[in-house]
Amino acid sequence: MRIAVISDVHANLEALQAVMHDIENTNVERVFFLGDVVGYGADPNKCIKLICDLCEIKLLGNHDYVALGLESPENFNVMAKQSIFWTRKTLNRKAIERISDFDMEATFLDYYFVHATPDNPSEWNYMLSAEDAERNFGFFSQSFCFVGHSHLPAIYCRRPDASIEMHDPESFTAEPDCRYIINVGSVGQPRDGNKNACYLIADTKNNSFEYRRLQYDLRKAQGKMRKAQLPEFLITRLASGK
Percent of the chain with pLDDT over 90: 93
Average per-residue pLDDT in the chain? Answer: 95
Compute the average pLDDT of residues 194-218.
96
Q: What is the pLDDT of residue 169?
A: 86
Q: Is 7 within 8 Å of 33 (Cβ atoms)? A: yes
Torsion of CA 194, 199, 205, 208, to 10 degrees: 10
Summarize pLDDT for 92-104 with one digit per residue, the tens.
999 999 999 999 9
Q: What is the pLDDT of residue 69?
A: 92
Summarize pLDDT for 128-174 with one digit per residue, the tens.
999 999 999 999 999 999 999 999 999 999 999 999 999 888 888 99
**How far is the C-alpha of 115 from the C-alpha of 234, rounded, in Å?**
21
- 2-240 carries CATH number 2.102.10.10: no
* HEC letters along the chain: CEEEEECCCCCCHHHHHHHHHHHHCCCCCEEEECCCCCCCCCCHHHHHHHHHHHCCEEECCHHHHHHCCCCCHHHCCHHHHHHHHHHHHHCCHHHHHHHHCCECEEEECCEEEECCCCCCHHHCCCCCCHHHHHHHHHHCCCCEEEECCCCCCEEEEECCCCCEEEECCCCEECCCCCEEEEECCCCCCCCCCCCCEEEEEEECCCCEEEEEEECCCHHHHHHHHHHCCCCHHHHHHHHHCC
Domain boundaries, the chain: 2-240
Compute the average pLDDT of residues 29-46.
97
Q: What is the pLDDT of residue 89?
A: 96
Q: What is the pLDDT of residue 158?
A: 96
Compute the average pLDDT of residues 68-93.
93
Please state the pTM of the whole predicted model.
Answer: 0.95
Q: What is the pLDDT of residue 171?
A: 86
